Amino acid sequence: MDNVHAFSQYWSGQTPFFASFALQQLRLWVSHNPWFDGQEHDHWFDVPAESLQQLQNEYQQGWASLGQQLLTSQPFTFDDRRFASDNWSEPLFGSLATFYLLNSSFMLKLLSLLPIEEEKPRQRLHYLVEQAVAASAPSNFLVSNPDALHRIIETQGASLFTGLLQLRSDLQEGKLRQCDQGEFQVGDNLAITPGDVVFENDLFQLIQYRPLSETQYQKPLFIVPPAINKYYILDLRPENSLVRHLLKQGHQVFLMSWRNFGQEQASLTWDELIQEGVINALRVTRAISGERRLGCLGFCIGGTLLSTALAVLAARGDKDIASLSLFATFLDYLDTGQVSVFVDEQMVAYRERTIGGQGGAVGLFRGEDMGNTFSLLRPNDLWWNYHVDKYLKGQKPVPLDLLFWNNDATNLPGPMYCWYLRHTYLQNDLKSGDLDCCGVKLDLRAIDAPAYILGTHDDHIVPWRSAYASTTLLGGSCRFVLGTSGHIAGVINPPAKQKRHYWTLDQVPKDPDAWLAAAEQHPGSWWNDWFAWLANHAGERRPAVEHPGSAEYPVVEPAPGRYVKQ
């Protein structure tokens, strides 16, 4: 009888029974999740009754609207692209989608009412709820997805068989492929800009590209790409290859190609990647080109590695750098975005014991694990939509070079990865000036060169305000430019496509939002702005270099080289 009375109170609106019940279920979920062990979280669920009542009233209105729509046989329409097809307008599937969206909205609104002041727990709970909401969409299940069911009928079952084959293939690889492996071939239709490997060691190959102009700037551009994925994000197809565009502008280009680290390199440290990797590559570039003052470019973690190497060299008295360009790069890890939900002392210590060498064991951090993690940070855009199209509908993904590259992840040596995690994402002391690296104190302010710093507005890996924070850490003058889109598409944006826009401002105030408020918006790609800036720091033009390598560093093999294909 008590239950009957409680439900009658709920339906009469006298008590927020349903909202209170959902709140208790959320509390129970938190209490059994190891992410929240050792934390006092009872006060997180002290939501005022009037707030719960208002939320419940909104929910009941949504229920009433759904019932009225069914009774009056009104067709269902959705702005959500998961339910955009006409098949979802039918009463059965339309009501199912509406019910899902109603409950999803309710849960997220309930979450916003929780008085969680601590940033990390709030982010983690939001992440967990977001994952659960995304995973439970009716579009993700064969029996509740009318598009997938229609495909089975249209193809006489072939779509289901194809989907199972694609699922088996992805399970064998350990990752959800967003682009079929056979759509592109490195050295065939990707990474085909002419060049030569002129040096290699166990960590990297150094590529010197052949000129595409009659004259070239005096000072070469030395590029450090991310070590997490392959270098050819900067040399995709000819029309969107940053390397090719640089060569046509008249720049000499030298680029590191990190190897896909295996068990033989599992014990490599951060210091070794700096000394034997970046500093070694820069030394060889200077020797081959005959120029000591280089332009330097780093992208993502490649920019972090490059800046660390330049700070080490500066501490040794070598400050001969013509310019520094950092694209979507962290130096100050003040806001690491959604990735921060995974990083805490417990997680880092576990990695240090298991693959970082502190427990005696060294190993690799698998590239597939990082790729899957980054995809799940945007579950509806980079995970479940591919699940639906590939496995339920049996469709092949659209061939896109950016996504092919995204699936071509590389492993990282355990000690290097653990050092990076601790001193950046966890402790944020890369900027401190007190960190020991390669036998010196690491001081980023000792990098006394003009810097061009790019952030992208919708970057969920390197939030643009964190990229902006680099302007206060370097010793030279800084120009900050903000592009649109995300971490990859915002960087790889060739001018010919006339896509997107960007913001510029000559001044660099301390507050990034003040910068954006005063910045001027320009249509198209930011590449031309960077090309103009880079030309001002690249020296005079002279006849193009005719022969790659040198007597000391002869050509090893043609680009793209063996390492990128491993």
Instruction: Verify that 199 and 125 share a domain, yes or no.
Output: no
Instruction: Verify that 211 and 274 share a domain, yes or no.
Output: yes
Instruction: Verify that 211 and 107 share a domain, yes or no.
Output: no
Instruction: Verify that 90 and 209 share a domain, yes or no.
Output: no
Instruction: Verify that 135 and 240 share a domain, yes or no.
Output: no
In a domain, 356, yes or no: no
Q: What is the mean pLDDT of residues 70-87?
A: 92
Indicate if the pLDDT at residue 419 is higher than 50: yes
Q: What is the mean pLDDT of the chain?
A: 92
Which residue segment(s) compose the domain that 491 sits in?
A: 195-333+429-565
In a domain, 382, yes or no: no
In a domain, 413, yes or no: no
DSSP 296: E
Of the three residues 122, 140, 158, the one that is the final residue of a domain is 140
The whole-number pLDDT of residue 16 equals: 64
pLDDT in tens, 221-260: 999 999 988 999 999 999 999 999 999 999 999 999 999 9
Instruction: Verify that 470 and 560 share a domain, yes or no.
Output: yes
The whole-number pLDDT of residue 7 equals: 41
Indicate if the pLDDT at residue 323 is higher than 90: yes
- Catalytic residue among 179, 300, 437, 478, which? 300
pLDDT in tens, 443-501: 999 999 999 999 999 999 999 999 999 999 999 999 999 999 999 999 999 998 888 99
Instruction: Verify that 215 and 279 share a domain, yes or no.
Output: yes
In a domain, 174, yes or no: no
Tokens of 160: 């289901």
Residue 300: active-site member: yes
In a domain, 158, yes or no: no
Give CA 309 to chain center in angstroms: 23
Residue 489 φ then ψ, to 5°: -65, -30
The whole-number pLDDT of residue 152 equals: 96
The whole-number pLDDT of residue 6 equals: 44
Instruction: Verify that 249 and 103 share a domain, yes or no.
Output: no
The residues, ordered by sequence, that sit 6+ positions from 311 with a Cβ below 8 Å of its Cβ are: 437, 442, 443, 444, 446, 447
Tell me the CA distances in angstroms from 68 to 80, 95, 413, 524, one per residue in order.
21, 11, 59, 47
Whether the link from the prior residue into 560 is cis, omega within 30° of 0, is yes
The whole-number pLDDT of residue 358 equals: 87
Instruction: Verify that 73 and 209 share a domain, yes or no.
Output: no
Indicate if the pLDDT at residue 4 is higher than 70: no
The whole-number pLDDT of residue 17 equals: 67
Of 209, 450, 428, 406, residue with least CA distance to 304: 428
Instruction: Verify that 322 and 450 share a domain, yes or no.
Output: yes
Provide the percentage of residues in the chain whose pLDDT is more than 70: 97
Of 268, 282, 358, residue with least CA distance to 316: 282
Per the listing, tokens 């197809």 go with 237
Q: What is the mean pLDDT of residues 19-29?
A: 84
Q: What is the mean pLDDT of residues 5-16?
A: 45
Of 196, 380, 226, residue with least CA distance to 301: 226
Q: Give the span between the Cα atoms of 197 and 493, in whole angstroms.
A: 26
The residues, ordered by sequence, that sit 6+ positions from 129 with a Cβ below 8 Å of its Cβ are: 26, 107, 108, 111
Indicate if the pLDDT at residue 12 is higher than 50: no
Of the three residues 140, 156, 174, the one that is the final residue of a domain is 140
Provide the percentage of residues in the chain whose pLDDT is more than 90: 75
Of the three residues 120, 140, 160, the one that is the final residue of a domain is 140
Least confident segment among 72-76, 173-177, 383-387, 546-550: 173-177
The whole-number pLDDT of residue 25 equals: 85
Instruction: Verify that 204 and 286 share a domain, yes or no.
Output: yes
Residue type, 202: D
Query: SS3 of 69, please?
Result: helix
- Residue 306's pLDDT band, with cuts at 50, 70 and 90, is very high
Indicate if the pLDDT at residue 9 is higher than 50: no
- Residue 35's pLDDT band, with cuts at 50, 70 and 90, is confident
Query: SS3 of 558, please?
Result: strand
More confident residue, 208 or 70: 208
pLDDT in tens, 133-142: 999 999 999 9
In a domain, 477, yes or no: yes
We report the CATH number of the domain holding residue 524 as 3.40.50.1820
Instruction: Verify that 135 and 205 share a domain, yes or no.
Output: no
pLDDT in tens, 101-145: 999 999 999 999 999 888 888 988 999 999 999 999 999 999 999
Task: Please tell me the pTM assigned to this model.
Answer: 0.91
Indicate if the pLDDT at residue 13 is higher than 60: no
pLDDT in tens, 146-189: 999 999 999 999 999 999 999 999 898 888 888 888 889 999 99
Number of domains in the chain: 2
In a domain, 403, yes or no: no
In a domain, 180, yes or no: no
